Amino acid sequence: MTTLASLTTFLDFAVDGVVNGSAYGLMGLSFGLIVAVTTRFHFAWAIGYTIAGFFTAYLVNHSGVPVVAAMLIAVTGAALFSALVELFVYRPVAARTGSNALLAVFVASFGITIAGQALIRLAVSGGTGAGNESLSWIAETPIRIGEIAFTSLDLISVVVVWACAAAVWAALRFSGFGRRIRAVEVNPGMAQAVGIRTERTYVIVFVLASLLASVVALFATMSSAANANMGMTPVFYAFVVAFAAGLGRSPLWIMAVGTALGVVEAVSAEFVSVAWQQVVVFGLLLLLLVFRAGAAWRPNLFRLPTLRAKES
């Protein structure tokens, strides 16, 4: 009985991990797409995420706007924010700083994030602090399969975020604009030489990434609550997944890495305190970075002795 109970608990954690990890995967895809194609370290991704989630709930709760209309307004606002940041902040900063553009853009993006949080609080509460806003739209009907429990919102969120990732994969692989994005990612100079407008492609990527982040933000708002700081933790998860999976990798691979990370995080609650779950995630990232650095420094360092013997 104890073994059965332990297995059930493990599976419960694993299901929660799949739900959370699927969201991590889409966040990583969103963040990684921007970095891979535009080389902008878009830390202000957190503000676009917040605009989509927080203002949807705020418009519904305080302005009486229907849920669908509020979503459209907030998601459009998030996409517009991302495009304007690229056009009027990142692009001029990158043009002026040259080889130091990555660091300069990151500093500018970090400043926008801090200022954006303050402006959101000022806009909705006169600077006294924006409280939590909840959003009720998809009913959280309990679903049980044997002893495993989850909700209809969990199921729908997993299906939707994977469908979004599959749509991005198909678009990048088969559509004309997807091929242009991949061309700019591989060689911006050559892409521009053959007539692809790289600057326009950058804006398209920012808008696309914002839409993906908005999907996750809306489900997060429905499952818990939204506030002016809601994007801060997700942006770190997006960073971890994007770099753990590898920049420029297939959207489906990034989703798989995000899901695996979510399962590891959830299952770790069996062995460590919940407060230490994020430490597990970022500890894995640290180990991965050390491994990659070691492999780059000494390519043979992590090879098995048998392989070395065969090579010799």
CATH label of the domain that carries residue 267: 1.10.3470
> Average per-residue pLDDT in the chain?
88
DSSP state of 226: B
Per-residue pLDDT band for 139 (boundaries 50, 70, 90) equals confident
One DSSP character per residue, 138-155 reads: S---EEEETTEEEEHHHH
> Is 228 a domain residue?
yes
Residue 265: per-residue pLDDT? 87
pLDDT in tens, 151-172: 999 999 999 999 999 999 999 9
**Residue-wise pLDDT tens digits, 19-59:** 999 999 999 999 999 999 999 999 999 999 999 999 999 99
Assess if residue 217 is contained within a domain.
yes
The answer to the question of residue 282 being in a domain is: no
Tell me the chain's radius of gyration from C-alpha atoms.
Answer: 21
Number of domains in the chain: 1
Greatest mean pLDDT range, 40-49, 126-135, 184-193: 40-49
The pTM assigned to this predicted structure is: 0.89
In a domain, 307, yes or no: no
Cβ–Cβ under 8 Å, residues 53 and 298: no
* pLDDT reading at 307 higher than 50: no
Residue 298 counted as domain residue: no
Model pLDDT, residue 303: 61
**Residue 279 pLDDT > 90, yes or no?**
no
pLDDT in the model for residue 304: 53
Q: Is residue 191 part of a domain?
A: yes
What's the rounded Cα separation, in Å, for the pair 237 and 231?
10
| Domain range enclosing 46 | 2-271
- State residue 311's pLDDT score: 47
Whether 92 is in a domain gets the answer yes
Dihedral class, residue 98 (left if φ above 0, else alpha if ψ from -120 to 50, else beta) = left
Helix intervals (H) in the chain: 2-38, 45-63, 67-85, 91-97, 101-125, 152-174, 176-186, 188-193, 198-223, 232-245, 251-267, 277-297, 305-311
**Domain-embedded: residue 299:** no
Give the CB-side neighbour count of residue 183, counting CA atoms within 13 A. Answer: 19
